[in-house]
Amino acid sequence: MSVSVGVLGVARIVQSALLEPAADLDGVEVTAIAAREHGRAVAFAREHGIPRALRSYDEIVDDPAVDAVYVPTPAALHGHWTRRAIAAGKHVLCEKPFTANAEEAEAITELAESSGLVVMEAFHSRYHPMWTRMSRLIDSGVLGRLGTARAEFTVPHADTTDIRWQPDLGGGALMDLGCYPVRLLRHLFGEPEVTGAQIRDIDGVDASTTAQLTFAGGVSGEVVADMGPGDGHAAELHVRGSAGTLHVRMPYHPYLYGELTLTTESGVVVEQGDPRTTYSFQLEAFRDAVIDGGPNPTDAREATATMRVIDAIYRAGGLRPRTPLVP
């Protein structure tokens, strides 16, 4: 059996997140694509060997030859197209963040769980072995009593015409970048309480966000997301305990120079990230969930929990959560 995937849009992420891993993975075929402008879909399909370029997203969702829909649209539209795909009986792989806000995510969770379909947030980092390794180290007690954890993702985006700078489309540093460190700290320490947030607001868009979180057991967490103009790039995790520290470089894309450093009284242990891409691990998991009922650790319920934290950070920083769009 092979899963036939239809794609909603020609976003840059489509190639690395779907086309490249699908080319090396049995059981997944990208068979159709649509775009807001049909000519772009035709050109993209021709360039990448996709058999069919359909005229609209609705045609993709309603096509009986499509088993699953990949949703790489702007974040404010994720909920609409995920809902449409579920209603049409399609499995869904939806880019992160899962929806515009937690309320929308909760509604989609109800639909997803009653449908029997696989609805997966495309939180690719979660599927890489480095995340399992980090979790096992934290749980092992090797760091002693856990004290602080700081996760950062900084990528400058100077082009203010980019969708990241458009609040109506779900833009903002927290939505685009901050969802990664939020999800990582949740993965390692459980559900947090948001105790504060500082947001640099530019025309209703958070150019940068720093948030303080408290986890069970007294762990103090900090999330940093920054897309403001500048030269600095950072993707880091720092965890400090009474008996040691854990530092991870590139925890969100461990295959790109990812490195884990554990420092304790016993010495320093350095481990490199598996070179296989996070997207490859993710697509394999999606295929297995669809075909064999395999595990779905980034399902709609899990994605909703992340959106609750994102909403709480926005409120703590003086901004409203993002609003869904209906095309």
Would you give per-residue pLDDT tens digits along the chain (327 residues)?
899 999 999 999 999 999 999 999 999 999 999 999 999 999 999 999 999 999 999 999 999 999 999 999 999 999 999 999 999 999 999 999 999 999 999 999 999 999 999 999 999 999 999 999 999 999 999 999 999 999 999 999 988 889 999 999 999 999 999 999 999 999 999 999 999 999 999 988 999 999 999 999 999 999 999 999 877 899 999 999 999 999 999 999 999 999 999 999 999 999 999 999 999 999 999 999 999 999 999 999 999 999 999 999 999 999 999 999 988
Torsion of CA 170, 174, 177, 179, to 10 degrees: -90
Q: What is the pLDDT of residue 203?
A: 87
Q: What is the pLDDT of residue 232?
A: 84
- In the residue annotation, 90 being an active-site residue is answered as no
Q: What is the pLDDT of residue 108?
A: 98
Among 84, 90, 96, 322, which one carries the catalytic annotation?
A: 96
Of 126, 207, 131, 129, the C-alpha closest to 166 is 207
Q: What is the pLDDT of residue 231?
A: 72
The identity of residue 295, as a single letter, is: P
CA 245 to chain centre: 26
CA end-to-end distance (rounded Å), the chain: 34
Flag whether the pTM goes above 0.85.
Answer: yes
Rounded Cα gap, residues 193 and 105, in angstroms = 19
Q: Are 190 and 216 in contact (CB under 8 A)?
A: yes
